[in-house]
Copies of this chain bind each other. A is one copy, B any other.
Amino acid sequence: MNTKNLSEGFMRVVSKCNSFLDQGSPWRTAVSSSDLHPEFTGVFRLTEASSRKECRPFFIENKQVGLIRPDILAHLKPYTDVFHIPYSQGNDNIKVHLNPSLQTFEERSEAVEKVLLDLREKDVFKTLRGWRDEYFNIWYKFSEPPLMKMERAATCLFGVKQYGVHINGWTRHPTKGVCMWIARRSKTKPTWPNMLDNLAAGGLSSKHNIMECARSECQEEASVPNNLLDNLKPVGTVSYFYEDERGLFPECEYIMDLEVPEDFVPENADGEVAEFYLWTIQEVLEKTITSEFKSNSALIAINFCIRHGLISPDDEPNYQQILEGMHAKLT
C-alpha cells in the first residue's frame, strides 16, 4: 500500500473518532464551512451531521460534567425530581442540572439509576439494550473524587467523559524490526465483536488506579507475567469525541507501552480475546485504516508508531493533523 493511501486512511480514522467535533479550532470558528478548502471539508465530512450546536450542558453541583443531545433530553423531561431542565429560559440557554437536593455520591447514583431502569423498561434508548451491569464513575475532574456512578451503557446519553487504559504490546524482532502484538476481540464482546484491538485495554472505574488497571488488564486479557508488568510505561493519553446513534462519547485513554521479549506470546485468560497476532509496523498500519480495526484502538496504534519514530514527518503529509486529532480538547 502506498503512503498516500495510508495517509488518507489515518485521517479517516481521526475523523471517525472525532465525529462530534467540527468547529473546535481557532481557524475554523472564524469562517463558515463553505469558506474551507474542499480538501478540508473532505477530511471532516463525517462531522457535518454533528449535533454539537444543539447539545445542552449537564451539571452536577454546578460543575459541567457532560452534554445532552436534544433527542435524548426530551425523554429526560418527565423526571422532574431528578433533572432540572428550566425550559422557560429559552431553548438556547438551557442548562440541565441534576437535582441539587441529591447531595451525596450514593443519592445521585441511586436516583439516576431509577430513571435509567424506567427508560430501559420503556425501551426508549438503543444503548440501554446493551445494559452491562457495570458502573462507570462520573468525574468533574479525573483527579478529584467522583460525583456519582452510572451504568456504563448509559453514560453516552449524558455525554460524560469516559476514561480507559490501552496497552501497546511490542517487541524488537531480530529481522522484522519493531513488531506489535494485536488482539482480535472475541465474537461475544458486547461492543465491537471480532474487531482488531491493542494488546489489552479496559475502562477505568475508580480514580487512583491507572497503572493498577493497566496491570490487571494485561494479566486478564494477555496473561502477561508479573516480571514483565514492571516494563509497563505510561506514555501519554489519546483523547477524542465521537457520536453515534447511541449518544455522545468524549473519551480519554491513558496509553502504556509494554516491551516484551521476542519469545513472549500473549494468551487470553478472560474470554475477551479470540486471537493475538504479531505484526510488523507496515502490517499494523495497513490494518489500522481498515474497518476491521476498532477506531480508537487504531488511533492508539498510530500514536505508538509516531512516538517510536516509525512514521516520518517528512513522509506523512498529515503528521500534525493526526497528532492534533488524537489529542482532542475535552476540558
Contact = CB atoms under 8 A, between A and B. Distances in A.
Given A24-B24, A236-B307, 10 more contacts: A30-B56, A35-B64, A209-B314, A210-B313, A234-B313, A236-B306, A237-B320, A239-B320, A321-B331, A324-B331
| Residue of A23, A56, A313 with most chain B CB atoms under a 10 A cut-off | A313
Interface string A290-331: 000000000000000011110111100111110110111111
A175 interface: no
A20 interface: yes
A25 B330 contact: yes
Contacts of A142: 317, 320
A241 B26 contact: yes
A46 to B, nearest CB: 16
A54 to B, nearest CB: 10
Interface string A103-147: 000000000000000000000000000000000000011110000
A331 B330 CA distance: 17
Contacts of A239: 320, 323-324
A250 B27 CA distance: 10
Interface of A: 20-21, 23-27, 29-31, 35-37, 39-40, 52, 55-57, 62-64, 67, 95, 140-143, 208-211, 233-237, 239, 241, 250, 252, 254, 257, 306-309, 311-314, 317-321, 323-324, 326-331
| Residue of A30, A40, A254 with most chain B CB atoms under a 10 A cut-off | A30
A137 B29 CA distance: 24
A39 B237 CA distance: 22
B236 A323 contact: yes
A329 B324 contact: yes
Contacts of A62: 35, 37
A323 B327 CA distance: 7
